[in-house]
Structure 1
Amino acid sequence: MKIRSITVRNIPEEVHRAIRVRAAMHGHSTEAEVRSILEQAAKPEGRVKLGSLLTSIAREAGGLTDAEAESINQLRDKTPAKPMDFE
Structure 2
Amino acid sequence: MAVMTIRNIDDAIKARLRVRAALHGKSMEEEARDILRSALSTEPVRPRDLGQAIHERFAALGGVDLPELPREPSREPPGFEA
TM-score normalised to structure 2 length: 0.51
Identify the residue that residue 10 of structure 2 maps to in structure 1: 12
Number of aligned residue pairs:
44
How many angstroms does 1:18 deviate by?
A: 0.1
Identify the residue that residue 43 of structure 1 maps to in structure 2: 41
**Paired AA for residue 16 in structure 1:** K
How many angstroms does 1:42 deviate by?
A: 0.7
CA distance in 2, matches of 1:5, 1:37: 16
CA distance in 2, matches of 1:7, 1:29: 16
CA distance in 1, matches of 2:40, 2:6: 16
Give the root-mean-square deviation of aligned CA atoms. Answer: 1.1
Query: Residue by residue, what CA displacement relative to the aligned partner does 1:1-35 show, whole Å, maximum 9, x if unpaired?
Result: xx101000000000000000000000000000000
The answer for unaligned runs of 5 or more in structure 2 is 45-82
CA distance in 2, matches of 1:37, 1:5: 16
Identify the residue that residue 23 of structure 1 maps to in structure 2: 21
4+ runs deviating over 6 angstroms: none
SS at match of 2:38: helix
The answer for unaligned runs of 5 or more in structure 1 is 49-87
Larger radius of gyration between Structure 1 and Structure 2: 2
Structure number having the greater helix percentage:
1
